[in-house]
Structure 1
Amino acid sequence: MKLIFAILLFSILGVTMTGCHRDVVVVPMLVDVNSALKLSGDNRGELQKVLDYYRKEKPDLLKLKAAEYLISNMVAHYAVAGETMDRLKRDIDTTLRDQPNAVKLMFYLMAARVAIAQGGNTVEYDLHKITSDYLIRNIEQSFVIWENIQNHYDLSCEDFFKYILPYRINNEPLIEWKDSAYYHLYNFDKGDQLGFSLGGYQGYISAKIPTYYRYEKFKEQFSDSLLRMYEADCIDRAYSTQIINRIFGIPTAVDFVPHYPTRENRHYWTILRDHRYVNSKCYYSYTPYTAKVYRKTSFINPIPEDKDNFIPHFIRDPYKIDVTEEYENAVDLNYTFKTFKSNTRYGYLCVFNNLAWNEVAWSEMRGGKVMFEKIGRDIMYMPCYYDGKHQVFADYPLWVRSNGEVEPLVPDKKRLQKLRLNRKFTYNPSGDYNGAAIIGVQLHATNDLSKEPYDSIAVIRHYNYMAYDTLCVNTTKKYKFWMVKKVNYNNPAFASIKFMQDGEALTAKSTFTINLTGKMDKNERLSRNIFNDDLLDFGALSKIAGVEFKEPVSVDVVKYITQNDKNGVYPGDTYELLYFDQGEWVSLGRKVATADYIEYDDVPSGALYWLRNRTEGKEERPFTVMNGRVRFW
């Protein structure tokens, strides 16, 4: 960690390159070459060989500048190491020994994430480990790629340095991956047929090599269970795309949202650095708006330095740059902390994600004042700072409205209200889609499945979003087989269906389905999922599904619930309502639900609230109540 913080001891320098076919370009370098050499320790000789190679052995001013760029921006780069990483790397090398190194690199990146998740990993800084041969070969191969790409479009010197030249993607073990194994897939002499379309060229390359985007092709071949069980996500897809594009000279950036402000988790994606589309306000993050968008960089950017107080892990990463303005109509936020310690150097801005306030931006603090630049609108924020390792929050959350105005959510304890709540998480649009799909589903019953038609009992005419609804049965006749049948082309999905009598759920002997040919299957997965109590599984009603009782029974009510996220309120679960006041969450007590809602009296109005399920579940989001309506954030 000391090595990372050491980069801030040096001033920001620029390297001007005059050997490019474009105008003079200034490439960002936070650390100068001599300072990087001093930090390299015993490995200084290897780095010096690279510089001497392009100064004396094979003099080339532009390649020398490329070497200086890589070395200067190397100081915080590292590879994940340790026992787990070494074991996974051996498995990848053995299993993929006949594959291009670029494919191995994709799995190195995944393995590094696995090793970090397992814990006990170590790091190996590039400054201390990289060899001169490796660095020289990367530079030479990168310039070959640059030369080849000129047949297609004019790749600027700046984009070459930022998006083609770098040897590393993230924190994977070093490997020579810019090999020529892919080049047989594309005839560079035919490049003119694509015209000056970077997107068209990228699409052509992608169509030629789709296999290497697919983790599943190799997944089962690994011997290590950690690799076989690994599920690739948006991060892996973004890095894999960048690897392939970089090999073919396509400048590609990886952009990401570190924490969504109105939903859980984060997201990574790639964009082409086509200058015709920069600042186009295109949304690549699959959300209507977000607080912050960053770009992974090959060059070092300023980060806080604080010896007295904790700096959040995400903020400490120097290889990112703020690109929020390329996606959002951003606004600046000024805030003043009422109390703070004299050694407080930085303030941070948080959004709520995964049950906690998570930092997404930082600012220098002067006299308690901070300014967070370029943040998204219509979002709930929480400023904070650190006193040692303790996170100190602002008095109240801040709602940055769509028009840029800032409204603190101050609880009004003189104006109390009664809240009836039936969810703890953002309303899911699929709830209405799934609900509409069950309209028209028919309830049938019979005592003899061999005799059709079965008795028609009732039809579902409504749904209760993602909560249980009831269907009244207007017959006292007893039946051994009760079933549901779709009437439309869609397959309505049910998470649970219960047959009730006098308020009690009846216990069935078995479940079954009947297909169009009349074949009956007992206790298959589809019928089990529909007629059990687990709300997180579901059955799509592609055929008749029902239950069999030991003896004919009378049913007065059918309770049903559509496919859902199990984020409602359920009888028997314990809930706790909190509101934010003066830097902390304040509890209004715990209650056991007796219905599909929970009620709280004497709740301060105008606050930010949080309903927690203390029995089970992990998806919860804060909310406000405005004009009697709940809005989740």
Structure 2
Amino acid sequence: MKQTTVYILLLLLTACQSKDRLDMALEYAGDNRKELEKVLEHYRGDEMKYRAARFLIENMVGHTGHDSTDVRKFQPFYDRHVAISKKYNWERPAEWQQEIDSIWKESGQSLFFPKSRKDVQTMRADRLIQEIDRSFKAWQENAYTRNAPFEDFCRYILPYRYAEGVCIDNSRDVFYQRHAHLFSDAGKDFRQVIDSLHERSSDLMHNNWAAASMPIYNAATFEYVKRGSCDDKAWYNCLQLSALGMATAIDFVPEWGNRSGGHSWNCVIVNGETHPFEPFWDADRWKYKRIYNNEGFDLLWGRFRLPKVYRHTFEYYLDGPFADPEVDRQDIPPLFRNPFMKDVSEAYFQTADVKLSLRKSIPEDIKYAYLCVFGAKQWVPVQWGKIQRDGNVVFKGMGKDIVYLPMLYQNGNLTPAGSAFLLDKHGKQQILEPHKETAPITVSTYTAYLFTDEVIETKRTLNGACLLGSPDKNFAHADTLGCLNDSMESWGNDIQTTSHTPYRYIRLEVPKDSLNLCEISFFEHDGEEPIHPLKYSTNLRPLTSEDNPDRMTDGLSATGWRGKTNGDKGFVCWELPYPSLIKKIHYVPYWKPYFIQEKDIVLQYWDDAWITAGTQRWEKGTLTFNDVPQGTIYRVRIEGTKDRIFTYKNGMIQWY
């Protein structure tokens, strides 16, 4: 959204406190006021449609788009884009991506980007009436939403716009004509119906970041070029589903809590419940409630941790710093200068309110603090909280199992306002700040992000393995303590045992002739110290001369071991120093050490700024940095990479 548009909206709202939203919108419509009044007069005798017309007009201020002439200006580029895609049979190899990027740099970026038009000043009466009438018709024909509250209809079916910049054309009429009455029978699960609808447009795919800034202004263009961003497909889906009477919206995470970047996706609202789904077609489109709950993880992509989830809205919401006349606009992070969104985090995960006492002196003109997560090389605000006179601040509805940092924002700059902390899975705060004591830190990479093929490889030799416990080394009497399967995480797993038998020997039996493992630890109590020392025996030989089985139990999650047999199934048996009642087993799958050669590898720790603890060059294996302050968060920085933060305790790395 244009910054000036937001400012105009705010000025109007603050200047018109004595007027209602309708009066304000009509005043701002200028010469277009008569068109909007025609709509109101048209529905004067129909209470429901009149209220719907009011809802649209009242919330028009601040919304902008383009018209069909703007699309035509880009048509030559779209034609070239399609020609290249046809040459590659609509597949997306690296060569296709290079060609698309090349023509965009050559001609696309030099094209004139048209100025957007304000909806409230350009929307014609006949278009608005057509939108309202069709929306009501589709709503009443839809067996899944016809009994939805009128407020849900207004918010999620009625809006003609689901993204700024998109043309207001006849696309929703076209979608209705194509698929009318598709949702008229509730005999099937609505997800099946939506899947059958979207499978028809499965040729619309992600652009793989080729010409990522190429604008797509209407649905017809998207169907023509067949490649776009998650945001493009999300508004396309909303136009399509809302045209058929399904209550739909776009939800987004502004920044992940444990990886770089954010994401947008779709949802439908049925019987008051949010059902999120992947915008592009795939085989598991409804997985987000499962993997975005801040508890589980995806088998291929690992764990996702979400600090907040917001919903793009047509209706504007005035809250927080944006609605506070005492706050300078330059002292508000860009995310919170947008009134067209609302917090829907509780629809995805259990939240916790975070109360902090800011330890920094706060300038008198700073009224709000911001809770931040670590993004791509920097801290990113995800929630605001108003600072009380005593320096306390409450951040509402935060996601758990995430590291946060409270910060102030002034003139575009973020400054720390307190200590970093982990909001653990129970909603408790664990302060993360450097201690006086120092210790070595051993690392093997700079990021927790793995590609799907790497995730598969970490699990390959462990999938199907079982752990057995026995009081005697011959395992004449053995109990199964746990078996490993595909649901293991790449960066650490716990097995809780219920056996009441003390064991002297624990044996790991793998279903294949090889084993890759970084670390395994055995615990008697809920404390943090594993049982040691351990002796091992195995029928696996080291894969290389540098592999040492002791690395599996050396107390360092960054080191590991790879072994192989001559074709027999592999095993490793550990002898404990005494018979032990095992309560927990922790294990870390193997991941190959990886940095970048001929570049500086810098370990840093957080102490109100990133402090360098050491710099090395890498050839192979792990790296150890000595005399590093303990108790805080760390990162391994390499020029040109997106690293992740982690904590380090008793040799174990925990990524965030």
Normalising by the smaller structure, the TM-score range is 0.5 to 0.7
Question: Partner of 2:30 in structure 1?
Answer: 41
RMSD: 4.3
Q: What's the offset of the Cα at 1:568?
A: 2.1
Match of 1:294 among 310, 313, 319: 310
More off after superposition, 164-173 vs 234-243: 234-243
Among 366, 373, 387, the alignment partner of 1:344 is 366
Q: How far apart are the structure 2 equivalents of 1:73 and 1:416?
A: 57
> Is the alpha carbon distance of 1:461 and 1:226 closer, same or farther for their aligned partners in structure 2, counting shifts above 3 Å?
same
Larger-Rg structure: 1
Match of residue 126, structure 1, among 105, 112, 119: 119
Q: 1:250 to 1:384 in 2, by over 3 A?
A: same
Counterpart code for 1:166: P
Equivalent in 356, 366, 379 of residue 357 of structure 1? 379
**1:368-403: CA deviations, max 9, x gaps?**
432110101121011112222221122421211222
Tell me if structure 1 keeps the 8 A contact 2:404–2:420. yes
Distance in 1 of aligned mates of 2:206 and 2:5: 39
Q: Which of 618, 621, 627 is the aligned partner of 1:602?
A: 627
Instruction: Check the 8 A contact 1:411/1:581 in 2, yes or no.
Output: yes
Structure 1 residues not aligned, in runs of 5+: 13-29, 97-112, 440-458, 474-486, 489-561
Distance apart, 1:175 and its partner CA? 1.4
Aligned to 1:449: none
- Indicate the SS of the match to 2:240: helix
5 Å-filtered alignment, 1:101-500, equals 122-149=115-142, 153-171=146-164, 172-180=166-174, 182-183=176-177, 185=179, 191-192=184-185, 194-195=186-187, 200-201=189-190, 203-204=192-193, 206-208=195-197, 210-215=199-204, 231-275=227-271, 277=273, 282-283=289-290, 285=292, 287=303, 289-303=305-319, 304-305=321-322, 306-307=327-328, 309-337=330-358, 338-367=360-389, 368-412=391-435, 414-426=436-448, 428=450, 431=454, 433-435=456-458, 437=460, 461=514, 463=516, 471=544
Q: Which runs of 5+ in 2 are unaligned?
A: 83-103, 217-223, 277-287, 293-297, 463-511, 519-541, 547-565, 568-588
CA contact (8 A) 2:206 2:227 kept: no
Q: Per-residue deviation at 1:252?
A: 1.9
Paired position in structure 2 for 1:506: none
Deviation at 1:408, TM superposition (A): 2.1
Deviation digits for residues 400-453 of structure 1 (CA, Å, limit 9, x no counterpart): 1222221221111x20111121111116485463156589xxxxxxxxxxxxxx
Q: What's 2:539 paired with?
A: none
| 44-53 or 155-164: bigger deviation | 44-53
Deviates more, 1:170-179 or 1:276-285: 276-285
Q: Distance in 1 between matches of 2:110 and 2:392?
A: 37
Q: Does 1:88 align with 2:74?
A: yes
Q: Separation in 2 of the partners of 1:214 and 1:273?
A: 26
Q: Distance in 2 between matches of 1:202 and 1:159?
A: 19
Would you say the 8 A contact 2:352–2:396 is kept in 1? Answer: yes
Q: Structure 1: how far apart are the matches of 2:63 and 2:378?
A: 29
Distance in 2 of aligned mates of 1:36 and 1:349: 34
Say whether the 8 Å CA contact 2:309–2:345 is kept in structure 1.
yes
Shift of 1:464: 7.6
Note if 1:575 corresponds to 2:598: no
Matches of 1:431 and 1:209, distance apart in 2: 30
Whether the aligned pair in 1 keeps the contact of 2:372 and 2:380 (CA below 8 Å) is yes
Moved more, 287-296 or 346-355: 287-296
- CA contact under 8 A between 2:56 and 2:159: conserved in structure 1? yes
Which whole-Å CA distance do the structure 2 matches of 1:117 and 1:302 have between them? Answer: 37
Q: TM-score under structure 1 normalisation?
A: 0.65
Between the two proteins, the alignment pairs up a number of residues equal to 477
User: C-alpha distance in 1, partners of 2:66/2:434?
Assistant: 47
TM-aligned CA distance change 1:76 to 1:381, over 3 Å: same
> Which of 602, 605, 617 is the equivalent residue of 1:592?
617
* 2:138 match: secondary structure: helix
Percent of pairs with identical residues? 25
TM-fit CA distance, 1:238: 2.9
* Cα distance change, pair 144–323 in 1 and its aligned pair in 2 (3 A): same
Could you report, residue by residue, the CA deviation over 1:126-147 in whole angstroms, capped at 9, with x for unpaired residues?
Answer: 1222222221221122122123
Q: Give the conservation status (yes or no) of the 8 Å contact 1:36–1:75.
A: yes
Of 33, 37, 51, the residue aligned with 2:40 is: 51
